[in-house]
Amino acid sequence: MFDRSVFIDNKIPSNVTYNVTEKKAPTDDSVRLLMDMQQKAMDNLLGMVKIENNNFEVTALAFSDWAHFSKLVYLKYTLGTDHHELKITLRQGATEREMINKLVDELSKDIAIHVLEAAISPKIIRTLMEGSIK
């Protein structure tokens, strides 16, 4: 009914020592170099765009456009020494948060376009002209 066999193990315990050497993958240096290049490129881009006069003033007028069930917002803003105008159409039934988000989005896009045009365009044109002369 029960198995009464006895097993005897004559093995002697032994210790084994392994020397493991850590080898870095060849991509470790590549990733570090890539990060360095990205940081240098970002520093160069940030160095190109400088706003010397950072005054910002805005005037806003809002009108209801009952024919199109919307609200028209006219913004006239001064960025530095340049004057710009912007017209934004808002849905009539939009919540206050939706209207604020749309106004901020549209205004920030317009400001970014004007800042980048003023800062980068002359440098790109100069680079293109130098490249065509060579």
Specify if 1 maps to a domain: no
Predicted confidence at residue 44, as pLDDT, reads 77
Token pair, residue 112, equals 């970014």
Predicted confidence at residue 105, as pLDDT, reads 93
Q: Specify the pTM.
A: 0.51
Task: Over range 64-73, report the average pLDDT.
Answer: 87
1 pLDDT band, cuts 50/70/90, is low
Domain span at 91: 56-133
Specify if 29 maps to a domain: no
Predicted confidence at residue 97, as pLDDT, reads 93
Predicted confidence at residue 90, as pLDDT, reads 92
Give the chain's domain count.
1
Task: Over range 22-43, report the average pLDDT.
Answer: 80
Specify if 70 maps to a domain: yes
Specify if 100 maps to a domain: yes
Specify if 7 maps to a domain: no
Task: Over range 80-89, report the average pLDDT.
Answer: 88
Residues, the chain = 134
Predicted confidence at residue 104, as pLDDT, reads 92
Cβ burial 53-81 (10 Å sphere, 16+ → b, else e) = eeeeeeeeeeeeeeeeebbebebebebee
Predicted confidence at residue 134, as pLDDT, reads 45
